[in-house]
Homo-oligomer: A and B are copies of this chain.
Amino acid sequence: MRIMKAGEFKLEREVEYGTPEQNRTVQDILERVRTEGDAAVLELTERFDKVKLQASELRVTDEEIQAAYGRVEPAFVEALRRASANIRAFHEKQKRSSWMDVQPDGTILGQVLRPLRRVGLYVPGGKAAYPSSVLMNAIPAQVAGVPEIVMVTPASTGGQAGIDPYILVAAAEAGIREMYRVGGAQAVGALAYGTATIPPVDKIVGPGNIYVALAKRYVYGVVDIDSIAGPSEILVIADDSADPGYIAADLLSQAEHDEMASAILVTTSTALAEAVRAEVARQLEPLPRKAIAEQSIRERGAILIAASDDEAVATSNRLAPEHLELLVREPFGWLGRIENAGAIFLGPYSTEPVGDYYAGPNHILPTNGTARFSSPLNVDDFVKKSSVIHYSKEALLRGGEDIMTLAKHEGLEAHARAVQIRLEKEGKRT
């Protein structure tokens, strides 16, 4: 693992737009699903997922969901339930109320908050089918009060057009009752435009491959989407009080995700830097995903030596990591200076997997430096606001001339007249 000066480190980041061919493919799929509905969904599912289905077989049955519980270990279900309870409790604290501002003259201004009506959750197939992500996507929507949460996931997962039972159990535990065995861009199209079998949604969330990501970009505007996730990242700020073994383990837990993941330590202690380097090499050996983690550490990992605590903080703020661990003596003393980070883990017991699975905060976090401007997935993402304006006669009489002045300046005479006709009726203008 390379050791270098913090000021010299730069993380290359790119927004993924796909190749022209991938874009064409996705546009074609979306257009077919939009115009042909179920027929296109079924044909594309046969072509890409090698599963031949009737429209009536798209929806996962209650029996399959029940049967899935018999195929997973009880310890898994129990762990999932405790995780769900923690996630639900944290997200409950994000809920907000509608409000109004009642003014002395009778004017009422306000903001009404309502949950979205229907949300679609995309769950990838194969190894990327993470039960934890099902919880993290579905529970905030459920806490927000979304009445219809629907899951789509590719048919081939688990073989025989079945779905991974762990995914089914996670979805059921998160309160999802409506699930369809369809994946890829065709699933995104079905959720956005609706088919005879799959009614359209208002928002699509959840990770997927490049085709899914591109499809989400294209349907944005027809429906809402969540952010497009980039490679996972951790940055650890540590001082010489930190345990090098803990740091190495935490860096590796990020590196094992994929070769593009980045794991970075920033410290003012060169002794710690050396110790962590040795620990990373030692702990890397027995990992099942050693090849992935090793490449990530070699190509995207770094131990950065900062000249001061200030430089350590500035480096972290510059990189805007998805996950930030503060393994320092007084971590809360640092919190106020952290400007950009998706989730901040303070102290030795707050290892990143605590947040990935269990503590309650969401693990769907801004990647690729977007913590500069975006936020962990949260209840607000499933709520829409409407402004409320109930102007009193008195308020209109008082402000009417100002409104007409501003509207007329902008050349919008009919705007001015909509006020004027009311002032005239009240005898305040002729």
> Using a CB–CB distance below 8 Å, which chain A residues touch chain B?
15, 75-76, 78-80, 82-83, 86, 90, 93-94, 96, 99, 101, 107-109, 111-112, 114, 116-117, 127, 130-132, 166, 202-203, 220-224, 228, 243, 245-246, 249-250, 252-253, 255-257, 283, 287-289, 293, 331-332, 335, 338-362, 365-366, 368, 370-376, 378, 380, 384-393, 395-396, 399, 401-403, 405-407, 409-419, 421-422, 425
A357 to chain B, nearest CB (A): 5
Partner of A384, one of B256, B345, B357, B373: B373
Whether A389 lies near B339 (C-beta < 8 A) is: no
Residues of B within 8 A of A130 (CB): 410
Residues of B within 8 A of A107 (CB): 359
Whether A131 lies near B406 (C-beta < 8 A) is: yes
Residues of B within 8 A of A402 (CB): 78-79, 82-83, 357-358
Whether A389 lies near B93 (C-beta < 8 A) is: no
Partner of A353, one of B221, B348, B403, B425: B403
In the complex, A145 Cα to B71 Cα: how many Å?
Answer: 52
Whether A422 lies near B373 (C-beta < 8 A) is: no
Known: A202-B372, A407-B357, A415-B353. A386 touches B249 (CB 8 A): no
Whether B413 lies near A289 (C-beta < 8 A) is: yes
A344 to chain B, nearest CB (A): 5
Partner of A418, one of B112, B252, B375: B252
20 contacts between A and B (CB under 8 A): A15-B220, A86-B399, A90-B109, A114-B339, A221-B368, A224-B370, A252-B414, A256-B414, A332-B390, A344-B388, A347-B390, A349-B395, A352-B418, A353-B416, A355-B389, A357-B407, A358-B403, A361-B387, A361-B388, A371-B386
A406 to chain B, nearest CB (A): 5
Partner of A389, one of B131, B253, B359: B359
A114 to chain B, nearest CB (A): 6
Residues of B within 8 A of A75 (CB): 405
Whether A417 lies near B252 (C-beta < 8 A) is: yes
In the complex, A407 Cα to B353 Cα: how many Å?
Answer: 8
Partner of A338, one of B116, B386, B391, B417: B386
In the complex, A101 Cα to B340 Cα: how many Å?
Answer: 21
Known: A351-B419, A416-B353. A361 touches B389 (CB 8 A): yes
In the complex, A116 Cα to B378 Cα: how many Å?
Answer: 18
Known: A288-B413, A406-B357. A116 touches B421 (CB 8 A): no
A225 to chain B, nearest CB (A): 10
In the complex, A422 Cα to B345 Cα: how many Å?
Answer: 15
Whether B287 lies near A406 (C-beta < 8 A) is: no
Whether B256 lies near A413 (C-beta < 8 A) is: yes
Whether B338 lies near A410 (C-beta < 8 A) is: no
Residues of B within 8 A of A393 (CB): 349
Partner of A253, one of B343, B359, B387, B415: B415
In the complex, A401 Cα to B386 Cα: how many Å?
Answer: 44
Known: A252-B414, A357-B403, A407-B357. A386 touches B422 (CB 8 A): no
A200 to chain B, nearest CB (A): 10
In the complex, A199 Cα to B425 Cα: how many Å?
Answer: 52
A281 to chain B, nearest CB (A): 14
Whether B131 lies near A409 (C-beta < 8 A) is: yes
Residues of B within 8 A of A96 (CB): 96
Residues of B within 8 A of A357 (CB): 402-403, 406-407, 415
Whether B406 lies near A349 (C-beta < 8 A) is: no
Residues of B within 8 A of A391 (CB): 345, 347, 349-351, 354, 359
